[in-house]
Amino acid sequence: MDEFRSIAELFAPMALPEGEGLRDDAAFLPSGPGRELVITADAVVEGVHFLAGTAPDLVARKLLRVNLSDLAAKAAEPFGYLLTVAWPESWAQAERAAFARGLAQDQAEFGIGLLGGDTVSTPGPMTAAVTALGYAPRAVRRSGAREGDLLVVSGAIGDGWLGLQAAKRELALGGDHLAALERRYALPEPRLELQALLRDHATAALDISDGLIADVAHLARASGVGIRLDLERTPLSPMGLAWLAGSPNRGDGLEALASGGDDYEILCTIPPERVAPAAAAAEAAGLSLTAVGTVREGSGPPLIRVDGAPHRFARGSFSHFA
């Protein structure tokens, strides 16, 4: 049983209507005329979401940013957050102080403040969780995609996964590329500058944390639609292109980049007539949008293609589509 089936069977039956059946990254509460309170939660665990030995300030900043990314995908303005930390015995006061400094740094950068929380100790790995709150005039849910919409992503895909390989010293690229990729993995950029674009143009949205392929499936499931994803249209950075050029099989290489996760770009659906103004708005914000597929009639697992042909998957991580 994978994570999402477990959520559906164990917890979704207990969810309030505002929890969207636990099919979204957030809950949505009315908060006055034309205003919704958006609530999201994410955790990080040493050895799972960051490598042992990562600087404590970077751990804190990544924790805050992955939650801000969820708010960005809902077109919500950050307001405040609750923090829960389980300090391991190896983290003395110096490490805890560095963690707090990292939080303070990104609080100032992104305009969000601490509201409360809890701290405990643990004999296990360092674990921390944030519950983030934001406000939106119109929050964008996962469930609004409609037949005929185009499937659109921001930025470049695959750099988060490549950054993990770089941090583990398992990537053969030039030194400048390695440093840039490591930073991309350690400090994802929440796309808060796309909030207005999403409110004005998107019918559904989420951030890409599990990988483009998996998150396309999440969006299709929440919206009850079919989706065709054309992997050859996946936008790649110069580092991603350099890595793909050395991959023995182009289709498998594209699959690896599109399934690795940790990108924290925005995946959304936009009606065709609104893609051009949306792309212009993204360009004005210093970002790019790329159409990578279409929303189709029906439902079920997405159709994933490479150069027009269905793709046979090599990676075990894709088995949950079976």
Looking at the structure, do residues 147 and 290 belong to the same domain, yes or no?
A: yes
Looking at the structure, do residues 19 and 120 belong to the same domain, yes or no?
A: yes
CATH number assigned to the domain comprising residue 294: 3.90.650.10
Q: CA dist 3 to 7, 74, 172, 210, 279, Å?
A: 6, 22, 32, 11, 34
Print the SS3 string covering 224-239: CCEEEEEHHHCCCCHH
CA distance 133 to 241: 37
Query: Which one of 86, 107, 136 terminates a domain?
Result: 136
Q: Are 88 and 125 in contact, with CB atoms under 8 Å apart?
A: yes
**pLDDT at position 321:** 38
**pLDDT at position 1:** 56
Q: Are 130 and 83 in contact, with CB atoms under 8 Å apart?
A: yes
**pLDDT at position 56:** 98
Q: Are 248 and 137 in contact, with CB atoms under 8 Å apart?
A: no
**pLDDT at position 314:** 66
Looking at the structure, do residues 120 and 227 belong to the same domain, yes or no?
A: no
Which pLDDT tens digits describe the chain residue by residue (322 residues)?
577 788 888 888 888 888 888 888 899 999 888 899 999 999 999 999 999 999 999 999 999 999 999 999 999 999 999 999 999 999 999 999 999 999 999 999 999 999 999 999 999 999 999 999 999 999 999 999 999 999 999 999 999 999 999 999 988 777 778 889 999 999 999 999 999 999 999 999 999 999 999 999 999 999 999 999 999 999 999 999 999 999 888 999 999 999 999 999 999 999 999 999 999 999 999 999 999 999 998 888 899 999 888 887 765 443 333 4
Query: Which one of 69, 104, 136 terminates a domain?
Result: 136
Nearest 5°: CA angle at 67, between 141 and 56? 170
CA distance 54 to 62: 11
Looking at the structure, do residues 180 and 264 belong to the same domain, yes or no?
A: yes
Among 228, 229, 239, 291, which residue's Cα sits nearest to residue 263? 239
Q: CA dist 36 to 71, 200, 210, 270, Å?
A: 12, 16, 26, 22
Looking at the structure, do residues 205 and 276 belong to the same domain, yes or no?
A: yes
Q: Give strand pairing partners of 106.
A: none
Amino acid making up residue 200 = D
- The DSSP code for 301 is S
CA distance 245 to 177: 14
**pLDDT at position 316:** 40
What tokens were used for 198? 């999403």
Question: Following CA atoms 166, 171, 177, 181 in sequence, which dihedral angle do they give, to the nearest 10 degrees?
Answer: -30
Looking at the structure, do residues 54 and 128 belong to the same domain, yes or no?
A: yes
Query: Which one of 136, 155, 175 terminates a domain?
Result: 136
CATH number assigned to the domain comprising residue 67: 3.30.1330.10
- The DSSP code for 89 is T
Looking at the structure, do residues 291 and 154 belong to the same domain, yes or no?
A: yes
Looking at the structure, do residues 165 and 230 belong to the same domain, yes or no?
A: yes
- Helices (H), strands (E): how many in the chain? 10, 12
> What is the domain range of residue 161?
142-321
Question: Total domain count for the chain?
Answer: 2
The HSE-up count of residue 79 (CA atoms within 13 Å, CB side) is 13
Q: Give strand pairing partners of 82.
A: 116, 131
**pLDDT at position 171:** 87
Burial (0-12, 13-18, 19+ Cβ within 10 Å), 94: exposed
Where are the alpha helices (H) located in the chain, listed in sequence order? 3-10, 56-73, 93-110, 159-167, 175-186, 195-201, 212-223, 238-245, 250-259, 272-284
- The DSSP code for 95 is H
**pLDDT at position 318:** 38
